[in-house]
Amino acid sequence: MNNKWKWGISIVIPTYNRQELLQKTLLSLSRQRLCKSKFEVIVVDDGSTDSTESLVKSFNSILNIGYIYQEDKGFRVAKARNLGIQAARYQVTLFIDSGVLLAPDAVEQHLLAYQNGHAQALIGLCFGFDEFTELDSDSDIQLFDNPDVFDYQESLQAYQDCRYDYCRDLNFSLHLCDEPWLLFWTCHVSCLTEKLFSIGGFDEYFNSWGGEDVELALRLKNIGVRLDLITAAKAIHYPHEKSETEVKKTAKNNIRYIHKKHCTLATYLLDQGMNWQQIVSTPTQSQTTKPDHWLGSQNLPYNMTHQSIA
């Protein structure tokens, strides 16, 4: 392991005008059982106009927390996460979103998974998470607002992540999945920091919702990084407003870019409108050639891609 980073975990949270959701996330981090000296929180503000900075500063005495601000030039979550990676001081980087609540032992569970040297990148699930829709009933809110919500495991079973059934069918092991990168959603994932640097971080071409996380995971997979599930680290995705129509529209444009950049059978199927459930159920790695009908554009030349971490 590179001596540039200390043993521990850096938690990177990009945010934009999500003060109330961010507060919930930071409160859940303040309840972590892991020793404070073993983790840091890096909030990267993508140009908020609310009181995000003041909120972060209010946690200075509770958490080892830092605040990075970048000017509002549109949706730049990839750039924001890269700034967080560059600031990270620990050997493991954990990505979560504003509005993700972590169980009190979640950060510790991530770190333990890397301690034996086997884990390289981990995918965590989130109760209450769906790709395009959100929970919004009073009963949902009431449950998730309970500080002891993770003690109610039976109640939480009704809110399983939309990836849960597929992962359960694989016995929560991704070694039989040809395209595990399609499950790497940055609401709750972690990775060795040095691996993130080795691929240049997130591609900053992405300036609208969707795709920057799975594209990063595809590049991790391409350099031999193993993507595993972590079921011991529990998390909740707190309900918030989301436009299904808008996110599907921007995701489509970003999928086209991913296929032009990588030109694999899986990216072709994605570009043709198949969803992740359909693709991970398709044996894509048995293809030994690239038929002309799905090549589309050739892989983008390196100088047309936008990774920026050196």
Q: Is residue 16 part of a domain?
A: yes
| Tokens found for residue 198 | 């080795």
Model-level pTM greater than 0.75?
yes
Reply yes or no on whether the pLDDT at 110 is more than 50: yes
DSSP at 282: S
Domain with residue 232: its CATH number is: 3.90.550.10
Reply yes or no on whether the pLDDT at 2 is more than 60: no
Q: Is residue 281 part of a domain?
A: no
Q: Is residue 267 part of a domain?
A: no
Length reported for the chain: 310
Residue 304 has what pLDDT? Answer: 41
Q: Is residue 306 part of a domain?
A: no
Reply yes or no on whether the pLDDT at 310 is more than 90: no
Task: Tell me the pLDDT band of 307, cut-offs 50, 70 and 90.
Answer: low
Q: Is residue 106 part of a domain?
A: yes
Residue 136 has what pLDDT? Answer: 61
Using alpha carbons, list the distances in angstroms from residue 270 to 49, 144, 186, 224, 273.
36, 33, 19, 22, 5
Q: Is residue 277 part of a domain?
A: no
Residue 152 has what pLDDT? Answer: 95
Lowest-confidence pick of 85-94, 278-287, 292-301? 292-301
Instruction: Report, in this order, helix, strand and coil percent for the chain, each rounded to 5.
Output: 40, 15, 45
pLDDT in tens, 204-256: 998 887 899 999 999 999 999 999 999 999 999 998 775 555 566 678 889 99
Residue 86 has what pLDDT? Answer: 97
Q: Which of 104-118, 230-244, 273-287 has the highest mean pLDDT?
A: 104-118
Reply yes or no on whether the pLDDT at 115 is more than 90: yes
Whole-angstrom distance, CA of residue 193 vs CA of residue 114: 12
Task: Tell me the pLDDT band of 92, cut-offs 50, 70 and 90.
Answer: very high
118 C-beta neighbours (distance < 10 Å), count: 9
Q: Is residue 278 part of a domain?
A: no
Task: Tell me the pLDDT band of 306, cut-offs 50, 70 and 90.
Answer: low
Contact residues for 254 (Cβ-Cβ < 8 A; gap 6+) = 206, 208, 209, 210, 211, 212
Task: Tell me the pLDDT band of 138, cut-offs 50, 70 and 90.
Answer: confident
Segment 120-135 shows an average pLDDT of: 85
Task: Tell me the pLDDT band of 288, cut-offs 50, 70 and 90.
Answer: very low
Structural domain harbouring 71: 6-242
Reply yes or no on whether the pLDDT at 139 is more than 90: no
Q: Is residue 288 part of a domain?
A: no
Task: Tell me the pLDDT band of 297, cut-offs 50, 70 and 90.
Answer: very low
Reply yes or no on whether the pLDDT at 192 is more than 90: yes
Number of domains composing the chain: 1
Q: H helices within the chain, ranges in order?
A: 19-30, 52-57, 77-87, 106-115, 138-144, 153-156, 164-169, 193-198, 212-222, 244-262, 265-271, 276-280, 292-295
Whole-angstrom distance, CA of residue 163 vs CA of residue 171: 13
